[in-house]
A = this chain, B = another copy of it.
Amino acid sequence: MSDKPTQTFVLKLRDASSGITEVPGFAAAGFSCGIRGKDPTRLDTAVVYSKLPCAAAGTFTTNDVKAAHVRLDSERVAKGGVFHAIVANSGNANAFTGEQGKLDSAEMGAILARELGVPEDSVLTASTGRIGKVLPMELLRKGIPAGVKKLASTPEAGHLAAKAIMTTDTFAKTATASFTCVGKTIVISGMAKGAGMIEPNMATMLAFLGTNAKLTAPELKKLLKASVLESFNHISVDGDQSTNDTAILLANGESGVDFKTLSNTWVNGEKCLTTFARALEAVCKALAAMMVQDGEMITRVVTVQVDGAKSKTAAEKVARSIGNSMLVKSAWYGGDPNWGRIMDAAGYANVGLDDGKLDLFYNDTPVVLKSTPLFENEKKWHDIVANREFTVRLNLNMGKASYTLLANDLTEGYVNFNKGE
């Protein structure tokens, strides 16, 4: 969250952004290896490449059950050094695939490294899709070398890469922020996929971000962590945290603008480093919001804001309790302003709230003040919750801490979509 910005950055979203190829020095490709037997032409593999060596930072799922690529990437990123590329497939999570999964993830990276002529450990990998099946390596062994030939720095190539990592997503998710510092244009851009199995500490989400700033791994790590905390960790589609969640930020230094320069340069009263942090957070927030907007079969996007908590942790507990309640989410689906369920969910977060002094608002309309419902507003409540997007704001009136969660409704479509065979 930022104070009034002075130096501004430009933010472009969705079709207005081609994602990673907006960053000078980055190329990308999206192609099919035929991983989804049913639809062999569907894009299923993305490659990101920077000829200039990059520093890398990553944040990964905190699930005890981790996909093979999560272990590989987190080791490589922790070791540091130079990074050149990412290869990611959709249609198969390569999670819960044991020793074979580890070998396959490493081989995916090795194939790409060989094709690009870069060191093996300069490549990161990622997978997303169904858990528990080994990767069809014979397809990747053929498909990756063929796909690499499509690497380009064009907007189209960026879009195709963003498309290739989609699973149940209905649109490609891209965002770009840029600003000027010491006469250079600094770009932060990325692509992401989301849709289902979305919860705290990242989601069934992959996000690949790049920048042409010249930052070291420790500098990137700090910046990425702060942005992820305020973006991907503030959303929930279904409360299911995935085994594969990954966000990677690569910095290729193309602009020559380093941390010291960003720190020492002020534009219109704002330090460039602050602008960079705000711009990175804006890109992450935009991608996170797109994930919620594109949640599986959803019909509402609800901002759950909890104020007046004794601690941020307490505020978050209450917000997640509300945003993950099947009963609350079902009521949202039905456009039913059933605020009793919201109060019930707030109560079972068990943060010790006082049920005699709660204020609740739908957008700016009071629903409950000091725990007394304002039925005279009932017509307005209905009007608000009939919208695709609205805000539920609960003030516990116990302290000064707040938390905002971006959530959505639970629909019959979601259940049908996820019921499998």
Contacts and interface: CB of A to CB of B under 8 A. Distances in A.
Interface of A: 62-66, 93, 95-96, 98, 130-132, 196-197, 199, 238-243, 324-327, 330-331, 333-336, 338-341, 343-356, 368, 371-373, 382, 410-412, 414-421
B412 A346 contact: no
A63 B347 contact: yes
Given A96-B355, A353-B64, A373-B96, A243 B344 contact: yes
B418 A326 contact: yes
Contacts of A373: 96, 132
Contact of A240 (B243, B326, B419): B326
Contacts of A355: 64-66, 96
Copies in the complex: 2
Contacts of A333: 415, 419
A411 B415 contact: yes
Contact of A414 (B199, B326, B338, B419): B326
Contacts of A368: 96
7 contacts: A64-B348, A64-B352, A64-B354, A238-B327, A240-B325, A411-B415, A415-B415
B240 A65 contact: no
A316 B63 CA distance: 17
Q: Considering the complex of A and B, which 4 residue pairs feature the smallest CB-CB distances, nearest first?
A: A131-B340, A336-B420, A334-B419, A65-B347
A313 to B, nearest CB: 15
A240 B327 contact: yes
A204 to B, nearest CB: 9
Nearest to A96: B343
A233 to B, nearest CB: 13
A382 B243 CA distance: 24
Contact of A344 (B65, B410, B412): B65
Contacts of A382: 421
A420 B349 CA distance: 23
A98 B372 contact: yes
A343 to B, nearest CB: 5
A66 B330 CA distance: 22
Contacts of A95: 340, 343-344
Contacts of A199: 348
Nearest to A134: B373
Contacts of A354: 64
Given A64-B352, A355-B65, A355-B96, A344 B418 contact: no
A108 B13 CA distance: 59
Contacts of A338: 130-131, 420
B65 A346 contact: yes
A340 B334 CA distance: 31
A352 B65 CA distance: 9
B65 A343 contact: yes
